[in-house]
Amino acid sequence: MAQVRQGQVPETATEMSGFWGCSRGTRSAMNSGGMASNHLASSTVQKTPSGISGFDQITGGGLPAGRSTLVCGGPGSGKTIFAVEFLVRGAALGEPGVFVTFEESVSDLSRNVASLGFDLARLQEQKLLAVDYVHLDPAEIEEAGGYSLDGLFVRLEHAIDAVGAKRVAIDTLEVLFSTLKDDSVVRAETHRLFRFLKARGVTAVVTAEAGSGSLTRQGLEEYVSDCVVTLGQSVLDQSATRYLRIVKYRGSSHGTNEYPFLIDDTGFSVVPATSLQLDYQVSDERVSSGIPSLDVMLGGSGFYRTSTVLVSGSAGSGKSTLAALLANATCERGERCMLFAFEESPSQIVRNMRSIGLDLKKWQERGLLQLRATRPSLYGLEMHLVSMHKAISEFKPNAVILDPISSFMSAGTAYQIKAMLVRLFDWLKTQQITGLVTCLTTPLNREETDVGISSLIDTWIEVRDLEVAGERNRALYLLKSRGMSHSNQVRELIISTAGVSLADVYSGADGVLIGSAKAAESRRRAREERESAADVARSERLLELKRETLEAQIAALRAEYAAHEEEVQRRLRSSRDAADATRSDREILSQQRTEAGTRASSNGGRA
């Protein structure tokens, strides 16, 4: 076997295989006690941002700076991708890194992570990354004498100094000790490796394979690491979900739950959903529902911004139409809207909405509307949550629509769906995003959803199909709307090529009347109104006739009275004239008699 002097950097993989098996001999000065004295522990744990979406939130800032983090998991769990992204994101932050791989060549590694958008070759050219592939074939290694990792330390030191590395990733530890049978040597060298990394002051990520009865195969790395992250995946009803858990983090509080994560074309995305608290801010601002008459029912101004709206109803009742109207109204305000569809493709949604006069295509072209369609069975529930979280974070919409959430029943239980939606709703509220979800309900259970989220909803709109007189028509109910006065009246939901509107309904002997029954009732009421108006007009004419007759009779009586009065006055005048004449005659006659007596007296005296 080829021998390499201690301190010499091997040039070939063959030399490297001998390099690992060399005698321990004299240790490097860096491994002396003086080395440890140069690394002073801080009273507060300093953290290095990992750059991995969502991970820094659940760790309170990232990985422990200047310390080692163990990332362990089974095959395909994402250990290598985690390590690579940690270095790539660090390079973007101006922190060069070193990646030591024992399983993949540099070219294979570069090709594999290129699908995630990571250009390792460019980073190497910019001296922001050094990648060192060490080929270790157990068939080429013969255990002889003491085993030492001094060669690895020299190689690491050289790479760290070459690029001024602040970050180091080693993938994976098991390969180093795969041929060793002495557990004490494995434990000792593992300790030395972690001490070396800590002494150099680099923030390190070391990957390890999961063990059967412990976190790792050796069962040691988790004890000497300052931070331990486990990656895994579970399969439920043929749907796989990846999850991440922070097992320990020395000197720092951290989230302890299992957090779902997604590996897609941009790398890792972790949703710290279960760590959310009810401390979000609310808004008094209102946003239109897209239907003016519905806004009137909601106190005249529509929904509260950042509220969560549920539109429930049976199949074909118009739930998706109401959701599309909110999307259209959001885009008309110049705001962004994202619609997650689980039963229709984006092109089908655009085509269907054209039938009611909505042109969603123009909003897509302007970048204000994004339609994303997936089948619920594509992922597990947690993966759906991660995928939506990532898409929303990138697009930054003002409104988010899920149509319909009842489709998730094929991907999990009602309890699991509710737990996922609780985390999604809370996160949307913290981001000041208005949310609307649709849900399919049955006639036997209209005022409760299968997933049991009605208590989480701020505004609940129910659309029902009512069968009256052989017709099925839509009726809209506003079951609740927190924080505002709202109508308790039932309205008929009319969907036509002219758009969507709400109309008043009629109540008859058989209940609420809509559709043709409403039209028939309207005609009957109009006929009754016309007949009533005719009766009133006829009564008014009769009354007028009676009034005119009465006035004529009164006029006749007045004329008769006037004639009688005139006759009476004439008679009275005649009587007065006769009396006056009689009195005058008597006065004349009396005067004549007086005068005659006077003359008689005068004549008798003369005689």
Reported as a single tens digit per residue, the pLDDT across 351-387 is 999 999 999 999 999 999 999 998 887 777 777 888 8
Q: Is residue 512 packed enough to be buried (19+ CB in 10 Å), middle (13-18) or exposed (0-12)?
A: middle
Residue 531 — pLDDT band, cuts 50, 70, 90? confident
In sign, the C-alpha dihedral spanning 191, 196, 202, 204 is negative
Q: Which two tokens stand for residue 19?
A: 């390099």
More confident residue, 177 or 107: 107
Burial 68-89 (b: 16+ CB within 10 A, else e): bbbbbbeeebbbbbbbbbbbbb
pLDDT, the chain, mean: 80
pLDDT of residue 42: 38
DSSP string, 460-512: EEEEEEEEETTEEEEEEEEEEETTS------EEEEEETTEEEEEE-EEETTEE
Equal fold, 13-23+48-275 vs 286-504 = yes
Distance, in Å, from the CA atom of 242 to the CA atom of 220, rounded to the nearest integer, reads: 25
Structure confidence at residue 122 as a pLDDT band (50, 70, 90): very high
Domain ranges of the chain: 13-23+48-275, 286-504
13-23+48-275, which class in CATH? Answer: alpha beta
- In this predicted structure, the answer to whether residue 117 has a pLDDT above a threshold of 60 is yes
Q: Is residue 577's pLDDT more than 70? A: yes
pTM, rounded to two decimals: 0.64
Predicted pLDDT at 27: 32
Given pLDDT bands bounded at 50, 70 and 90, which one contains residue 402? very high
> Is pLDDT at 570 greater than 90 in this prediction?
no
Q: Residue 181: what pLDDT? A: 66
405/399 Cα distance (integer angstroms): 16
The pLDDT of residue 599 is: 78
As a whole number, mean pLDDT of residues 125-154 equals: 74
The correct answer on CATH 3.40.50.300 for the domain covering 286-504 is yes
- pLDDT for 251: 86
Res 32: pLDDT? 33
Question: How far is the C-alpha of 476 from the C-alpha of 485, rounded, in Å?
Answer: 17
366-377: b (≥16 Cβ within 10 Å) or e: eebbbbebeebe
Lowest-confidence range among 15-29, 97-111, 526-540, 574-588? 15-29
Do residues 166 and 203 touch, judged by C-beta distance below 8 A? yes
